[in-house]
Each structure stands twice: as structure tokens, then as C-alpha cells.
Amino acid sequence: MRTQLETLKNTALDALKKAADIRALEELRVRFLGKKGELTAVLKQMGALAPEERPVIGGLANDLRALLEEAIENASKRLEKAALSARLRNETVDVTMPGRAVKLGRRHPMSIVIDEVYDIFLGMGFSVADGPEVETTYYCFDALNTFEGHPARDERDTFYFDEKTILRTQTSSVQIRTMEKTKPPIRIISPGRTYRKDEIDATHSPMFHQIEGLVVDSGITMADLKGCLETLMKGLYGAETRLRFRPHHFPYTEPSAEVDLQCFVCGGKGCRMCKGEGWIELLGAGMVHPQVLRNCDIDPEVYSGFAFGVGIERLALMRFDITDMRLLFENDVRFLRQFV
């Protein structure tokens, strides 16, 4: 058995030196030291030895095992080092090569208009208020004088979770929440997503963005509302922009008005864009109804205010002469690349 062990030693050491990679090394380990390996096969023959020879052969076998394990470990380190060197050679980066240009995205037309609106109102001393999109009927309707039976409360117009919980139809609910927590003077805008059961077409969507404004203080008049809206529209569309105020009715403002923008295509003469009227309907506005102030514990004998609400998509369509609102949400890069 001494001869067998010596032969095994020479064969194993020679094979380990020639191992080309870690996988081949593992195969050699299993071949020589595994449970069914060659060293185990030799040791199984020790039963045929004389009792006095067994300790001697056992010691030689243990020494051989230790020698081969050390040789395998050394070979493993050698192969790992060689693999790392080869990887570094193959993955070398030429720092002298020109870099690849990073393609920058562009702002969405909606984001452009929202930022412009923010700048205009912040310049007038307004702050931005936010509120939940899942709202109660109290904040969306009751506190705004929109009582049971009003068309806006119909399930065909509003998304209901239950009798008292809805997806907000307007950001006016933020105005109520603000007046409950803050006493006059108040000067806020409340932008955000709103939801109504509209069919999708060129001018409607079940989800759209709205921005509402609210000012409450002593001595606020309709003239302040007109000045505020003219500042907004001239900031968006130019100094020559003209507005028209038409009497209207909203349950939460009194008096109320629809505000039209003079057609920017025909200059008021009448064209396809304005349907021959010379004006384009833009937004609703008015003086805050005294009962709405009372609902928020604000004395209408001391304070007055104005409010307005406008769809941001509508502002964007007119700002960039876009004729179909669906383009704003389809994410077609050919369309979006037009805007800076």
C-alpha cells in the first residue's frame, strides 16, 4: 500500500499543477479526496493489513490527505488570481475615449404651465395648499352649499366609494379645509388631480388637473378678483390678453361669473377655434358665498373673499395651441419633444 499511496501522491500533485480552472480543480478534489475518491479506495484495503502495519499506513494516508488539501488550496488561490487578472485585462476601460452623451428629458407641457402658474401666484403673495383626493361629501358638497339633489352629486357625474366618500370632483374642498384651520387673511391656490365621470374625448377626461384660488380678508371685492385673474392670464398669454366676465350661478359663490378669454387665433372676430363667438370659455369664479364663510366659522359681516377654479389642461391647450387633450396623457415622445 505504500507504493499505491506514493503513486497516488505523484499522480494527484501532477494533475493539480495542470488544472486549468476552478471547475477542473473541483473535479480533481472529488476524484482524489471525495467519498468515492482514489484515496478512500486505498484506505478501504487496510483491513487486509497486519495489525502492526495499520497505524503506519494510516499515518501515511493522513499525511497524504493533508498534503493534497494544501495543494488544492494553493492551486485554488493561483487560479482565482489568474482569473482576476484575465478579467481585468478584458474589462479595461480606455479613459481616453469620448463619453456617451446623456439624453436629458424635457418638461411635460402640463408641468411647464403649472410652474408658470405657481410663479405668477407666488409673486402675488399666494401660498400653495394641498388636500386629499379621496374626500367626503361634506367637504366637496355640503360645506360648499351644494346640497342633495344638485346634479354634481349624481352618481352619473361623481365617483362614489360609499354614500359619504368620493373621489374629489374639484379642489374646492381644500378651500374649506384651509378656512377651518386658518383665519383671515387667507390667500391660497390649491392645485391637484380631480375626478368626474366624463367620457374621454378631445376636451374631456375622467381624471384632470384643477387649480383653485381663494382670498379671504376684510374689504375684498369683485375688482380684486378681476385684477387677480387678469394678472394670471396676461402672465400666461401676454399683455394683450382680454377677459370677459359673464353672470352665472354657482352655489358656493355670490355673485358668480363665467370668465372667457378672447380667442387668441382670430382676436375676437370669430373662427373655428372659438366656434365663431370670438371668446373661449375658461373658468368659473365669484365672491365667496356668505354661508360658505359661516360654515367655516368666518363672520361674513367682517370678511369677504373671492374664489375661482380652472382646469390646468385647458390652460395648457391654449398655452401651446393644442387641439386634443388626449395628447397630454398619451406619452408620445414625438409630441413631447416639441416642448422645452
The string of DSSP letters for 56-78 reads HHHHHHHHHHHHHHHHHHHHHHH
Phi first, then psi: give them for residue 310, nearest 5 degrees.
-140, 140
Name the β-bridge partners of 128: 189
Mapped onto helix, strand or coil, the DSSP state of residue 154 is coil
pLDDT of residue 49: 66
Answer for the pair 203, 325: CB distance below 8 angstroms, yes or no: yes
**What is the domain partition of the chain in residue ranges?**
2-90, 109-336
Query: What whole-number distance in Å separates Cα of residue 72 and Cα of residue 74?
Result: 5
Q: What is the pTM of this model?
A: 0.67
| CATH level 3 topology of 109-336 | BirA Bifunctional Protein; domain 2 (3.30.930)
Closest CA to 16 of 7, 8, 25: 25
Q: Over the stretch 52-76, which tens digit does the pLDDT of each residue have?
A: 776 776 777 778 778 888 888 888 8
Residue 47 CA: distances (Å) to CA of 34, 40, 62, 155? 20, 13, 16, 92
pLDDT of residue 47: 64
Answer for the pair 169, 137: CB distance below 8 angstroms, yes or no: no
Mapped onto helix, strand or coil, the DSSP state of residue 199 is coil
Angle at 71 between CA 68 and CA 74, to 5 degrees: 155
pLDDT of residue 202: 81
pLDDT of residue 1: 66
Answer for the pair 310, 228: CB distance below 8 angstroms, yes or no: no
Q: Over the stretch 176-202, which tens digit does the pLDDT of each residue have?
A: 999 999 999 999 999 999 999 988 888
Phi first, then psi: give them for residue 187, nearest 5 degrees.
-150, 95
pLDDT of residue 64: 75
Q: What is the pLDDT along the chain (340 residues), one digit of tens a residue?
A: 667 777 777 887 888 888 888 888 888 878 777 877 777 777 677 667 677 776 776 777 778 778 888 888 888 888 888 888 888 888 877 778 888 888 888 889 999 999 999 999 999 999 999 999 999 999 999 999 998 888 888 988 999 999 999 999 999 999 999 999 999 999 999 999 999 998 888 878 899 999 999 999 999 999 999 999 999 999 999 998 999 999 999 999 999 999 998 887 787 888 877 778 889 888 999 999 999 999 999 999 999 999 999 999 989 988 888 888 899 999 888 898 888 7
Query: What whole-number distance in Å separates Cα of residue 140 and Cα of residue 133?
Result: 10
